[in-house]
Each structure stands twice: as C-alpha cells, then as structure tokens.
Structure 1
Amino acid sequence: MNNNHFQIWENCLTVIKDNVSPISFSTWFQPIVPLKLDNEILTLQVPSHFFYEYLEEKYIDLLRKTLRKELGPNAKLEYNVVMENNHMANVKPLSVVVPGNNPANTKNRPVKNPFSQEEPSIKNPFVIPGIKKLQIDSQLNPDYTFANFIEGDCNRLARSAGWAVSENPGGTAFNPLVLYGDSGLGKTHLAQSIGLKAKELHPEKTVLYVSSQKFQTQFTEAIRNNNKNDFLHFYQMIDILIIDDIQELAGKEKTQNTFFHIFNHLHQSGKQLILTSDKAPIELKGMENRLLSRFKWGLSADLQNPDYETRVRILQQKAYKDGIILEADVIEYIATHVTNNVRELEGALISLLAQSTLNKKELNLELAIEIIDKLVKNTKREISIDYIQKIVCDHFNMAVDLLQAKTRKREIVQARQIAMYFSKSMTKASLSTIGSQIGKKDHATVLHACKTVNNLIDTDRAFKTQIDEINKKLKM
C-alpha cells in the first residue's frame, strides 16, 4: 500500500480550494479523510451516504480533473462511508469509479445504503423517515388511474401526452408537461394517473405528488427552521415531480426562486416535471418570467369542458363502479343538464343516489328531474379575479388595462381597490395572488384596499350604493 495518499489529497485540495467558495470548501471537502492509495485508486472517508451522493452530484467533474492531474488518466475513486456507532473494521466501502473520457458516464447510478442504522442526512418534508434512496410516500391517490379517466375530445391531447410521459418519464419532448384548464375538469386525476402508471412501469423511480399550497408550507417551515438546503436537496432527488395548482405560487417570490432552482436541476438531470394550472402558462400572472419561459419548454395541454358523449360515458362508468343500475333516460337527463365540469357531474350523481337511498325513492327520471333542477338552479358561477375586474371596469366605463397602469388617478385607484375588495371576498385566491393580478401590487396593498373600501361603505352612502350595484352584477 502506498502511504503518500495524504500528500495526494492535499495537492487535490489546493486545486479544489481555488475553484469553490470558502463555505463549500469547509462544508464538503475539509471533513473528507484520505484513507489509502492503491493502484491509482484513492479511497476517501466521508461522513454519510448523503455526503457521498452530494459530492458525486455537485463536484464530480472537479474531483475527476484534480485526481487525474495527480494520478494520471486512469485515476479512480473509492468512498468509505462511515456511520456513527460503527467501527472502521466493520464498514464496507461503497465504491464508485471516476468516469473515463465518456462524459455521459459522469452521473453514477444510485447506490443503495447497506447500513440500516444510519439516520438520513437529509430531512424529508413529509416527515417520513427512510434510507435507501429515501423511500417516501408518493402522495398519490390509488383511484386516480388511467383506467378511471374517461377520454374524450375535451382531453385527448392531454391524456395521450400523459401516457407517453408515464412510459418514458424525462425522455420525451413533454418536459415539463403542463396540464391546464378550469376547476373540476380532471387535471389532478390525470397528473396522478401519470405518476401511478410511471411507478408501475418504472418501480425504481421516485415519484412525488404535492400541491403548491403544501410546497409553500414546507418551504416556509424550512426557512423558519433554517433547513432550506435540506428542503432543496430533498426535492432535487425526485425522479418524477408533480406540482398541483402551480398558479398558487403567484406573488411568492422566494418560493418561486427556490422552485426555479429545483426545476432547473431536475430538468437538466433528465427528470420529469408535471404541473397543473387553472390557466395556460402565457396567461399566468405574478410568476417570474424565467419560470414562465421554462414552463413553455415542454408541452402545455388543456382540458376543456366535457362534451355530451363524454359526460354520458363518465356517468356510466361511475354508476358501474358503484354497482348501481341507471336507466338510459336518467343518464341522458343528467348529462344534458349538468355541463360545467366533471366534478359537478359526479356530484349530481351522488346527490341523486343519496336522495334515492335516504328517502327510499325509486331511482327514476322523475327523481332525477327533481334533484338535478334544484342543483342547476343553485349552482353559483365560479367567479374569477379576471371576471371581477371586467365587471368593475364595465361599471365605471373604463378599460380593464387601466387597473394595471401605474397611476394615482383617483378613479382608477378606487376601481382597483374595489376589484381587490371583491376578489378577497368572492374568491379563494391569496392576498399575494390578488395583488399580483390587479396592478402588480403586494399583499399589504390588498389589505389596505379592503380596509379603505369597508370604511367608505360605512361612511359614504353613494359609495355603498355603487358597491351594492357591482355586487348584484357579479352574482347575476
């Protein structure tokens, strides 16, 4: 055994120190201990399995170049991962060969951790402990399969692209795959179908579904607990990442910045990203331009309101799955009168079944007419921020674009404040989202606007009359 491994590593560190930041050097290279040099193979002791993976992920090129400079073109690396409560004699090294001249081999295949006693070095935001490439719950609903997703003209492109992605995640031109459309059209169902099918076809891949709201909550907790790096590294290890309702990140600059780095890492590593949104990427407001441009790299596929034939097939499948026999005239009546989205269609069927069961009524056309007519009559329009802006501007006879203008004209400022007031009370959007869509303002401006409008309602009778008129128009 050659004993000059200390000198070899010291020479490598001299070069490495000039090519990384002082913090990175002290964090990732000073803890390394050279163990031996044997036949141009340098063995390095590292503190954990995650430490080894991070070196291979971030610094493999630098390590390869410096080692070849010292030992020649045939230089190789071997890692010795040491865990607490283990003695060196009992630790088997995890060996990874530094790649040769083929740059395609610079990324190593995943190496399983053989030490069941090791605590994971990276914290899992889902608080699910694990080792061996972080065995996490994919957060997928097992009912959201392709078999349960009814295909029609309204969603054929999205479903076909989703199937292709599930067969070859990260290997198609559909990366990212952005599924967009109004609420209740099956975006979440289709996105999770892709994840479930990919897990079936590629069990070695790590799939994760997470809503934007949960992503934001995890990020906030990571910042509060000073664990931002753990949060970032966790998401960078996912093979297929599904983010639901990406529009909820509008106006959240720090979260968007972190997601930008996660997106870049996964995309450059050949990992698959699947996003859902209530609008096409080009229509999203409050999102950084650099993110929007990346959303357009792959395919944006819309899901539209289901046509009559698709609605009939959805009802037939739902009834068959629940073991219920529905006459054709009942299915046709529901499909004809409930037309907005899949969620309302299924809700109508559930209401009909509930009334039939609880009140012991026959499940026939007469009962369907009684129940569906009430549902359709009581169904409220789903009001959007864009719709509110249009109604407010129509009331004041001004162009909608003026609400986005940087002006202090009293009539425009007041119209903007009224639009913010109704958006807060009539939508589920966050204050940041409302502000970003109405004048590109922050959440504090929205709060001030709502307070101002409430004060004027209490003190100005004419103003209150105007608010009442706008309110009626919005509810028509």
Structure 2
Amino acid sequence: MTEEPSRNPHANLGSDAGQGLWQACVEQLAQDLPEQQFNTWIKPLVAQVADDFSKVTLLVANRFKLDWIRAQYAGRIAALLEGLYGQPVTLELAIAQREAVTRTYVRPVTAPQGVTHNTSQGSNPDGGAPAPTQTSASQGGNAEESSAGVFRNRLNPALTFETLVEGTANRMARSAAMHVAGTPGHLYNPLFIYGGVGLGKTHLVHAVGNRLLQDKPDAKILYIHAEQFVSDVVKAYQRRTFDEFKERYHSLDLLLIDDVQFFANKDRTQEEFFNAFEALLAKKSHIVMTSDTYPKGLANIHERLVSRFDSGLTVAIEPPELEMRVAILINKARAEATEMPEEVAFFVAKNVRSNVRELEGALRKILAYSRFNQKEISIQLAREALRDLLSIQNRQISVENIQKTVADYYKIKVADMYSKKRPASIARPRQIAMYLAKELTQKSLPEIGELFGGRDHTTVLHAVRKISAERQQLTELNQQLHVLEQTLKG
C-alpha cells in the first residue's frame, strides 16, 4: 500500500532525487551480487521513478529478461527500495522500446570494472542448465580486445593498497599481498586469501594487480571471478577453441581469481584450472586466489587441486575490529564528499560488525536517508535509517542464543555455561561464548559476566583477549568461529 502523494515528505524532491533513489539501490546490488549476475541483469535496467516515489518502473529489453528479473530479483529490489526510501514502493516491470531506453536513461550505473554480457546459451560440459553468461575476454576472438590492441586486465584502478583501511583483521593478508606485488613469482606462490563475505578479499587482490601494473606496466595481469573461468571453459568446449583458451591463461604473469569455491563439482573446469595452475607456476608467474574457506575446508574440489592451493601461503581476513570499522566508515563517507561525525561512526560500527560490505550498505542507507529527508547526519538519523537492521540484530542475537549455539556446537550442556566447572572441554567453549557475546551483542563486560553465572568482568575480558589472539594464529579455531558467527547471524 502506497502513501498518498500529498502526504509524502519527499514529493518535492523531483526526478533527480528519484534517480538518486534508484542509483543507491543499484550500488547496493552491485555490492551484493556477483559481477556476472550484476552486469547481465541489473546494469542494463532503466528506472522511471514517480515524482512522489510511490512507484518505480523498470524497463527491460525483452520478455525473457523480464520474466527472469521478476522471478530472481524483483523481491530483493523492492525490499531495497523500501529500505532506502523508508516507505512502501510499488515495483513494476515493463518491456522497453529502444527509443524509450535512450530517452529515459538518466545516469550511467557504476558497475564492477570490465564486464560485458550476452544471453547466448549452449551445453555445459560441467553439467547444469545453461545460463546467460559474460562475454569472455579469454577467447581469442574478443572484438573489444582485438580492436584496442591491448591486453584487458579487468582491474579496478580504485582498489589499491592506499585505499584499503588496514587493521588487525587484515594486516597479515595485506602484508603478504604487498610482498607478492613487490616480488611476484617468488615466495607465497600461490597466495590463498580466505574469509567471509564482504571482508575485503576482492579489494586486496585488485591492489596486488594495480601495484604490479604500476611497477611493471608491461606485465600481463588478469583479474577474474571463478564464475568467469567456468564460463570461459564452457565456451572453449562449445567452440573447440582450447588452444586460444590455454594461450590466454597460460601466458599470464599474474592471475588473480576470486571465489574458487565456485569450482565445486565442475570436473572439466577443475581440470583446466589445474593445467593453468601448473603452467603458470612452471614459468614463475604468480597466482593469488580468494575463497570463503581455507583450502582443506573446500568441498567437492579435487584433492590434487586443494594440495596446490595449500602449497604456498594461506592467510585469513577477519571481520574488522571496532576501530577499523570506524575508520572505514569515515573514509568511505569522505569518498562520498560527506563528513560523518565520529560519534555516528562509532554508533554504526558498534551495530554493524560482520563485514565491510554491510558497513558500506549501512553508510549508503544513512547518506540516502539524510539526503531524502534533508537532515544532517546524527546518531538519531542513523538509528532511523538503520531501524530494520537494528531490529533484526536485537531480535536474533542474544547472549542466551550464543550460549545455546556454542553449547550445541561443542556438545556440552547449556548449564555448563553458568557452572563453576573448569575442565578444558567446558572452559574452552565457555570462553568462546564470552568472546562471541562481546563481539555480537551490545552487552558490557559486567553484564556478560553476570549472564555466565555471575563471573567477574575481568574473567570475561581475559576470555575475549585469549580467543581473539588465538583466532589470529589457529586456523581451526578461526574456522569454528566463522561457522558459529554465520549460524548466529542466520
């Protein structure tokens, strides 16, 4: 149900603000979706926003795309628009005439660098239904590359070491990445970076490529998402162009590849990646990979490929600590030509703990809410802009929920969380639960201690510091904590 136009507080903002609303929605989708999906389905959309913001009509090129977007993305888009605007928004889809698209497309969408799309379909050697794919830059017949006469590296020049906020959470990974960029082909080959969604893995691999390109402009560098490699294998299989495929990938000086967990269950893709991997290492080229889990935690990947992944240096990126989250918010607000008061940054950072992508999403909501309501940024405004997020967090994550989840995971009784028992089989999970309570709730140390059987706040502080330090050193513990955090966050 939409509001009457006369009662809408944003009715006087006009078409520019309407396009601003759509642009904010698109930027969020660019962060949330894989590049291939974003560029194929979201980037070409044209939005017509009603003056009173009550309705957004998306113009789509044809019936096939309209049906696909309605089924796969319409619900998410509608929810994002409502979250950004703060009131219900009716979303409609319509097939656009070519002239209409030209006339109504007001602002270009800022998209992840260097990806085009088509809707060609065919058989898939790795199984599964064929789907619209990116136009592959790895094929010898790529018109854009041939006409330009240069190698297309797909790097985003904005993602550098200088624009990456450093903190305890990413210090080791950043240091290793800088070493690789400075002396490629030597130590730490391959470099395997793992961590949860939105922690900065992609930023880091782009930074490696940009630094090497700065030092060696003639270096042959390629950044791709694993889905793109799968797509390239499919096309080489369909077109019988494996010679061109191998020339493309086996001749690189630096291969940067995101989310290798997408190779799971794709035997032909894994075979071709293994061959490329061996060829690149033989010629002392460097490989940098990212994944959502450490190598031995990858499922349905051939053992010989996993052993190659684990043969160099494996480093983790953790969720950013409070001070790092504050710095990220302030820096990204400045990049948007806005000064975020420090107390607001602390408020947001304390409530958005999981990853950088969620921080950026929260920041975009605050900036949009401030702009649409013509109000200065304050804690109260941030609270209003993020009310849905704060409501979900307060409802889902409690100390009691943490205690139950941790007890179930380590197969102890919930009552052991409050007891005075001290065997390692109980004390260790109890310390982990205290650590998670401090990280995922707003409770103070004394409050957490009280909920753990009336323990002193110094006991909680000791547990938090102990688990935090060990998380940096013990891969198995870090993986356990990652699983627990994802379980608690739903």
The one of 143, 152, 169 aligned to 2:184: 169
Decide whether aligned partners of structure 1 residues 475 and 253 sit closer, same or farther in structure 2, where only a CA change above 3 A counts: same
The one of 324, 342, 349 aligned to 2:363: 349
Match of 2:164 in 1: 149
CA contact (8 A) 2:256 2:288 kept: yes
CA contact (8 A) 2:139 2:236 kept: no
Decide whether aligned partners of structure 1 residues 378 and 125 sit closer, same or farther in structure 2, where only a CA change above 3 A counts: farther
Decide whether aligned partners of structure 1 residues 378 and 188 sit closer, same or farther in structure 2, where only a CA change above 3 A counts: same
Calculate the TM-score normalised by the size of structure 2: 0.51
How many residues of Structure 1 are paired with residues of Structure 2 in the alignment? 267
Q: What is the root-mean-square deviation of aligned Cα atoms in Å?
A: 2.7
Distance 2:204 2:323 in 1: 19
SS of the aligned residue for 2:223 comes to: strand
Following superposition of structure 1 onto structure 2, how do residues 120-131 of structure 1 map, counting pairs within 5 Å? 123-124=139-140, 127-130=143-146
Match of 1:237 in 2: 251
Q: Deviations over 1:119-142 (max 9, x none)?
A: xxx94375544499x722110111
Distance 2:253 2:381 in 1: 49
Distance 1:174 1:191 in 2: 14
The one of 155, 161, 168 aligned to 1:140: 155
SS of the aligned residue for 1:140 comes to: coil
| 2:302 aligned partner, one-letter code | E
Matched, 1:337 2:339: no
Matched, 1:220 2:247: no
Following superposition of structure 1 onto structure 2, how do residues 74-473 of structure 1 map, counting pairs within 5 Å? 123-124=139-140, 127-130=143-146, 135-171=150-186, 173-378=187-392
Distance 1:159 1:324 in 2: 27
Q: Deviations over 1:79-111 (max 9, x none)?
A: xxxxxxxxxxxxxxxxxxxxxxxxxxxxxxxxx
Calculate the TM-score normalised by the size of structure 1: 0.53
CA contact (8 A) 1:306 1:342 kept: yes
| 1:314 aligned partner, one-letter code | I
Distance 2:339 2:224 in 1: 36
Decide whether aligned partners of structure 1 residues 340 and 381 sit closer, same or farther in structure 2, where only a CA change above 3 A counts: farther
Once the two structures are TM-superposed, the CA of residue 191 in structure 1 deviates from its matched residue by 0.6
Once the two structures are TM-superposed, the CA of residue 475 in structure 1 deviates from its matched residue by 9.2
Once the two structures are TM-superposed, the CA of residue 381 in structure 1 deviates from its matched residue by 12
List alignment gaps of at least 5 residues for structure 2.
Answer: 1-137, 397-404, 412-486
Q: Deviations over 1:408-463 (max 9, x none)?
A: xxxxxxxxxxxxxxxxxxxxxxxxxxxxxxxxxxxxxxxxxxxxxxxxxxxxxxxx
CA contact (8 A) 2:197 2:292 kept: yes
SS of the aligned residue for 2:315 comes to: strand
Once the two structures are TM-superposed, the CA of residue 360 in structure 1 deviates from its matched residue by 1.2
Distance 1:125 1:142 in 2: 25
Q: Which has the larger radius of gyration?
A: 1
| 1:256 aligned partner, one-letter code | Q
Q: Deviations over 1:12-64 (max 9, x none)?
A: xxxxxxxxxxxxxxxxxxxxxxxxxxxxxxxxxxxxxxxxxxxxxxxxxxxxx
Distance 1:381 1:232 in 2: 52
